[in-house]
């Protein structure tokens, strides 16, 4: 188990270096390009297999205990250690990350985005995987920061070199926002580590903030929270996200929504809730307010984009929907209750699966029609997916109803538990304020249903014989292979939520109790 976790974190870096080397003569296949793309599928597949093995070997009777630990002294002068481990909070995120990277590598093998060298594409993808996996596995504040920052450069290049229109501006906006947030976050992490005398997240969580004064906790939450909120992204620090998603290649959008956004909310749960509980209690009402506004703002932006004549880009619409969905995650965290935090963690996984599927589908639509503009897709010729590409229409309708939170699918449980947590927020938090946030969030679910049903009606329905004949290929075999696991897991988590809650709940209970429960 210890070796498996270290392998999962380090192997993508080794695979990235190997991707830049010439392919051995016997493994070139039809071309060197095919060889390096196959290399990407192989490495991400091995990482996924290792993550599955780690999950099977995980002691499911003790999900609150940190398992598969590695703890080695690294920088003695600062008391920084290479400390790795997983519990019921990080294991589902680790597994989902490994799965999404494998599916993206598989999809890219058949549909590589236009851009420079495939070698560089695969190498960047694997560096990105290593950084995201490390973020969910490290248990040292400075290592967390390094892993958190490690993803910026590869994602910048994936957007800037393999993206679509306005990709340079979107890539610069992405990296400037996240770098500025990260500088502030580093100051907060250093403040905690220097004041407490350790950067070890397990020791700090067990101490539950007792070594940190109230002022120190407030300053730390403010600094670290800004950096995490930018990556989440929380309204009003979200404006980099729609541009980045619109410009990014399909797999870039899938990974950005499915994995990178989760790093911010994971930091709130892993660092701020257990290490600075008093500071979090001070800022929780404000976090809840921003979350509630984000839920409604994201939904209203999507409604505006979905309206006829507004030239709404479908990728941009789904990006704004992420602002709303991540608002539910932040609302659950702001409640500071086991119910709310479990809902936030569940919504994290549900959003990764469902929005990843949505971005795959919109990317495929854009490839077929040459545009993701909603008015064009619903124009005189009409996408009319139910008539022209019925299986793709069915997948899009499924992803839409899953995203709007239909009971029986994964999206339902996270949002419901987050609202329940806000309805009965932790002792000491303003009940009238959180009741208001609950009502606003519930209203946001209605707006979410409205814009998603409008999208399905405009894209999937219509007369396939209207206008000039337009041959549209239905789902290809590689698309079916990449999308079906996301559909299956969305149904599984929706029908059997104990799969996730059985892992997260004991770990959340212990985390909120400062390691004493």
Q: What secondary structure does DSSP assign to 290-305, as a single string? A: HHHHHHHHHHHHHHHH
Q: What is the mean pLDDT of residues 396-414?
A: 91
Using a pLDDT cut of 70, give the percent of the chain over it.
95
pLDDT band, very low/low/confident/very high, at 429 (cuts 50, 70, 90): confident
CA-to-CA distance for 460 and 90, rounded, in angstroms? 37
At 474 the pLDDT is 79
- Mean pLDDT along residues 438-465: 87
**Where does the pLDDT of residue 240 fall: very low under 50, low under 70, confident under 90, or very high at 90 and above?**
confident
For residue 211, the model assigns a pLDDT of 82
29 confidence band (pLDDT: 50, 70, 90)? low
Tokens found for residue 256: 């950005």
428 in Cβ contact with 281 (< 8 Å): yes
Provide mean pLDDT across the span 439-455.
91
Question: Where is pLDDT greater, at 182 or 133?
Answer: 133
Alpha carbon distance, N-terminus to C-terminus of the chain: 25
Task: Please say if the pLDDT value at position 81 is more than 70.
Answer: yes
Q: What is the pTM of this model?
A: 0.92
**Which residues does 370 contact at the CB level (< 8 Å), separation at least 6?**
none
Instruction: Tell me which of 470 and 285 has the higher pLDDT.
Output: 285
**pLDDT given for residue 269 in this prediction:** 92
- Residues 28-45: what's their mean pLDDT? 81
Residue 270 banded pLDDT, cuts 50, 70, 90? very high
pLDDT for residue 357 is more than 90: yes
Distance of CA 159 to the CA centre of its chain: 17
Report how far residue 123's alpha carbon sits from residue 114's, in angstroms, rounded to the nearest whole number: 16
Tell whether the model's pLDDT for residue 119 goes beyond 80.
Answer: yes
Q: Is the pLDDT of residue 467 over 60?
A: no
Cα separation, 395 vs 361, whole angstroms: 8
pLDDT tops 60 at residue 468: no
Contact 296, 383 (CB under 8 A): no
Across the range 111-129, mean pLDDT stands at 89
pLDDT exceeds 70 at position 152: yes
Both tokens assigned to 86: 């997983």
The per-residue pLDDT for 23 is: 64
HSE-CB of 269 using CA atoms within 13 angstroms? 35
Local structure of 118: helix, strand or coil: helix
pLDDT higher than threshold 90 for residue 92:
yes
Question: Does the pLDDT at position 399 exceed 70?
Answer: yes
What are the two backbone dihedrals, phi and then psi, of residue 126, each rounded to the nearest 5 degrees? -75, -35
Check pLDDT > 90 for residue 443: yes
Please report the pLDDT score of residue 458 as a whole number: 85
Residue 464 banded pLDDT, cuts 50, 70, 90: low
Task: Decide: 146 and 187 in contact? Cβ < 8 Å.
Answer: no
Task: Give the pLDDT band of residue 210 (cuts 50, 70, 90).
Answer: confident
- What's the confidence (pLDDT) of residue 377? 76
Confidence check: pLDDT of 517 > 50:
no
Answer whether residue 194 shows pLDDT above 70: yes
Q: Looking at residues 348-358, what average pLDDT do you find?
A: 93
376 close to 465: Cβ distance less than 8 angstroms: no
Closest to 360 in 3D by CA, of 100, 129, 125, 45: 100
Least confident of 15-24, 41-50, 133-142: 15-24
Longest dimension (CA), the chain: 72
How much is the mean pLDDT over the chain? 88
DSSP string, 160-215: HHH--TTHHHHHHHHHHHHHHHHHHHHHHHHHHHHHHT--BHHHHHHHTTTTS-HH
Mean pLDDT of 217-234: 90
Listed range (68-77, 103-112, 146-155) with the worst mean pLDDT: 68-77
Q: Which residue has the higher pLDDT, 435 or 179?
A: 435
What integer is the mean pLDDT of 56-79? 85
* Residue range 505-513: mean pLDDT, rounded: 88
């Amino acid at each position: 188990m210890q070796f498996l976790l270290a392998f999962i974190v380090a192997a993508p870096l080794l695979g990235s270096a190997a991707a830049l080397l010439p392919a051995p003569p016997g493994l070139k296949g039809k071309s060197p390009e095919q060889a390096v793309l196959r290399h990407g599928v192989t490495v991400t597949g091995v990482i996924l297999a290792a993550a599955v093995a780690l999950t099977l070997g995980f002691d499911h009777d003790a999900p609150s205990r940190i398992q598969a630990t590695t703890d080695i002294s690294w920088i003695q002068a600062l008391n920084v250690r290479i400390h790795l481990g997983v519990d019921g909070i990080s294991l589902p995120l680790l597994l989902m990350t490994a799965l999404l990277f494998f599916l993206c590598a598989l999809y890219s093998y058949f549909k590589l985005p236009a851009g420079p060298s495939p070698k560089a594409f695969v190498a960047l993808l694997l560096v990105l995987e290593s950084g995201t996996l490390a973020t969910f596995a490290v248990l040292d504040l400075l290592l967390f920061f390094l892993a958190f920052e490690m993803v910026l450069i590869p994602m910048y290049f994936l957007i800037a070199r393999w993206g679509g229109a306005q990709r340079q501006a979107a890539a610069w906006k992405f990296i400037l926002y996240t770098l500025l947030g990260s500088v502030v976050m580093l100051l907060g992490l250093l403040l905690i580590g220097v004041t407490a005398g350790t950067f070890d997240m397990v020791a700090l969580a067990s101490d539950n903030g007792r070594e940190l004064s109230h002022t120190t906790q407030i300053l730390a939450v403010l600094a670290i929270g800004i950096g995490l909120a930018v990556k989440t992204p929380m309204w009003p620090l979200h404006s980099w996200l729609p541009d980045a998603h619109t410009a990014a290649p399909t797999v870039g959008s899938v990974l950005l929504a499915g994995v990178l956004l989760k790093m911010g909310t994971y930091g709130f749960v892993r660092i701020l809730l257990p290490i600075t509980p008093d500071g979090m209690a001070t800022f929780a009402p404000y976090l809840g307010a921003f979350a509630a506004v984000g839920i409604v703002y994201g939904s209203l932006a999507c409604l505006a984009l979905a309206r006829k004549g507004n030239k709404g880009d479908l990728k941009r619409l789904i990006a704004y929907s992420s602002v709303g969905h991540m608002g539910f995650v932040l609302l659950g965290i702001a409640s500071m209750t086991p119910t709310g935090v479990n809902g936030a963690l569940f919504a994290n996984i549900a959003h990764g699966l469902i929005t990843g599927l949505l971005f795959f589908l919109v990317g495929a639509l854009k490839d077929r029609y040459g545009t993701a503009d909603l008015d064009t897709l619903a124009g005189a010729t009409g996408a009319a997916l139910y008539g022209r590409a019925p299986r793709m229409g069915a997948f899009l309708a499924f992803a839409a109803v899953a995203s709007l939170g239909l009971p029986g699918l994964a999206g339902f449980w996270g949002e419901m538990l987050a609202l329940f947590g806000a309805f009965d927020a932790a002792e000491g938090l303003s009940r009238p304020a959180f009741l208001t946030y609950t009502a606003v969030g519930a209203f946001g679910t209605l707006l979410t249903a409205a814009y998603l049903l409008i999208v399905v009606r405009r894209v999937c329905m219509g007369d396939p014989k209207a206008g000039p004949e337009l041959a549209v290929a239905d789902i290809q075999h590689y698309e079916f292979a990449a999308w079906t696991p996301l559909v299956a897991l969305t149904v599984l988590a929706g029908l059997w939520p104990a799969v996730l809650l059985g892992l997260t709940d004991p770990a959340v209970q212990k985390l909120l109790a400062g390691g004493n429960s």
